[in-house]
């Protein structure tokens, strides 16, 4: 009898746990329906391919993405916790991203003359029907270069190129180039994985294609806004610098502003020797 009670308790707990996780799918479905209703109402159409419909759908999802919608979870977290059904059951987006191997070779050209030779050799390789994504692209490229001459074509800088010696053979340079390509593919893979995680796709499949050179496969089940995902994947990271002021450089202006606000008198802030900004502060009612 004790064993029967223990098994019953375990069974009840399992049912509750399963019900808890299944509930996220119902919540997601509820808000997806609301998003579709909102998009249809605002765009006056139910055509999911309509630009206005897609824009309003995106607007609704963005508006609740960080909003707590269920048991303290945000909508983005709820979508991550729902049961993943995969592309076959739920549909979605399947895309292959490719890192351009020829562009990487051009990136490491040691000079203008070397770049012209690299471009000429790339054209010969491609004329043979070998694509940049083919595994034998680098070896085919190497076959067109005279023995020992390949080291002079590429700058010896970078994570792996910096290890190439001035008397390195073509095979050693080719090996360093392939490692450099693999390193850039790994970096791109990590960037895409981070961006997809932020988007909230449930159970995405992200993998490097082993039989290809520089290609990454993305399978994103449940995606109904492929344009939004495409823009997210294509967006570039921007490093921006802004000139800022130290407090002691603007302390006098801040003090003058505070005094003018308290006295409700016209305020003049001197910007330079030739320009000034005058702002009239209305009197207190």
Domain identity same for 220 and 110: yes
Domain identity same for 220 and 136: yes
pLDDT tens per residue, range 94-126: 888 888 999 999 999 999 999 999 999 999 999
pLDDT for the residue 239: 65
User: DSSP secondary-structure letter at 161?
Assistant: G
90: pLDDT strictly greater than 70: no
Domain identity same for 148 and 269: no
Q: Please indicate, yes or no, whether the overall pTM of this predicted structure exceeds 0.85.
A: no
Average pLDDT (216-241) is: 75
- Residue 268: pLDDT band (50, 70, 90) is low
71 vs 233 pLDDT, higher one: 71
Domain identity same for 121 and 189: yes
pLDDT for the residue 84: 65
Note whether residue 88 is domain-resident: no
Note whether residue 64 is domain-resident: yes
Domain identity same for 229 and 252: no
Which of these three, 83, 111, 132, is where a domain ends? 83
Domain identity same for 112 and 56: no
- Residue 277: pLDDT band (50, 70, 90) is very low
pLDDT for the residue 199: 67
Average pLDDT (222-249) is: 74
Question: How far is it, in rounded angstroms, from Cα 94 to Cα 90?
Answer: 12
- Residue 28: pLDDT band (50, 70, 90) is confident
Question: How far is it, in rounded angstroms, from Cα 160 to Cα 151?
Answer: 13
Domain identity same for 7 and 58: yes
pLDDT for the residue 103: 93
Structural domain of 193: 101-234
Note whether residue 91 is domain-resident: no
Domain identity same for 109 and 219: yes
Note whether residue 7 is domain-resident: yes
271: pLDDT strictly greater than 70: no
Residue pair 29/37 in contact (Cβ under 8 Å)? The answer is: no
pLDDT for the residue 248: 84
- How many domains does the chain fold into? 3
Which of these three, 56, 83, 110, is where a domain ends? 83
Residue pair 82/24 in contact (Cβ under 8 Å)? The answer is: yes
Please write down the long-range contacts of 256-260, taking CB distance under 8 Å and 24 or more positions apart: none
- Residue 263: pLDDT band (50, 70, 90) is confident
5 vs 43 pLDDT, higher one: 43
Domain identity same for 67 and 152: no
Which of these three, 38, 57, 83, is where a domain ends? 83
Tokens of 212: 């290809």
Tokens of 159: 């994570």
Note whether residue 240 is domain-resident: no
Average pLDDT (76-89) is: 70
Domain identity same for 55 and 165: no
Note whether residue 62 is domain-resident: yes
Note whether residue 161 is domain-resident: yes
Average pLDDT in the chain: 82
Question: How far is it, in rounded angstroms, from Cα 173 to Cα 213?
Answer: 17
Note whether residue 92 is domain-resident: no
Domain identity same for 200 and 275: no
Domain identity same for 107 and 69: no
Helices (H), strands (E): how many in the chain?
10, 7
């Amino acid at each position: 009898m004790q064993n029967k009670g223990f098994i019953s308790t375990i069974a009840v707990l399992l049912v509750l746990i399963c019900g808890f996780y299944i509930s996220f799918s119902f919540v997601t479905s509820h808000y997806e329906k609301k998003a579709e209703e909102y998009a249809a109402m605002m765009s006056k159409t139910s055509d999911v391919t309509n630009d206005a419909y897609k824009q309003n759908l995106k607007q609704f999802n963005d508006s609740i993405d960080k909003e707590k919608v269920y048991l303290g979870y945000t909508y983005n977290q709820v979508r991550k916790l729902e049961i993943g059904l995969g592309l076959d059951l739920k549909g979605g987006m399947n895309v292959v991203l490719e890192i351009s191997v020829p562009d990487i070779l051009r990136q490491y050209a040691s000079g203008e003359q070397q770049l012209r030779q690299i471009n000429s050799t790339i054209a010969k390789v491609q004329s043979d029907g070998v694509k940049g994504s083919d595994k034998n692209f680098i070896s085919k490229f190497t076959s067109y270069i005279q023995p020992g001459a390949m080291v002079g074509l590429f700058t010896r800088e970078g994570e792996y190129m910096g290890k190439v010696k001035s008397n390195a053979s073509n095979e050693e340079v080719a090996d360093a180039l392939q490692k450099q390509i693999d390193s850039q593919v790994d970096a791109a893979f990590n960037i895409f994985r981070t961006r997809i995680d932020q988007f909230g796709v449930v159970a995405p499949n992200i993998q490097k294609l082993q039989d290809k050179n520089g290609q990454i496969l993305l399978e994103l089940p449940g995606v109904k806004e492929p344009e939004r995902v495409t823009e997210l994947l294509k967006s570039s990271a921007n490093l921006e610098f802004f000139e800022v002021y130290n407090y002691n450089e603007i302390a006098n202006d801040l003090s003058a502003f505070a005094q003018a606000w308290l006295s409700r008198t016209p305020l003049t802030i001197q910007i330079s020797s030739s320009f000034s900004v005058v702002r009239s502060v209305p009197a207190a009612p």
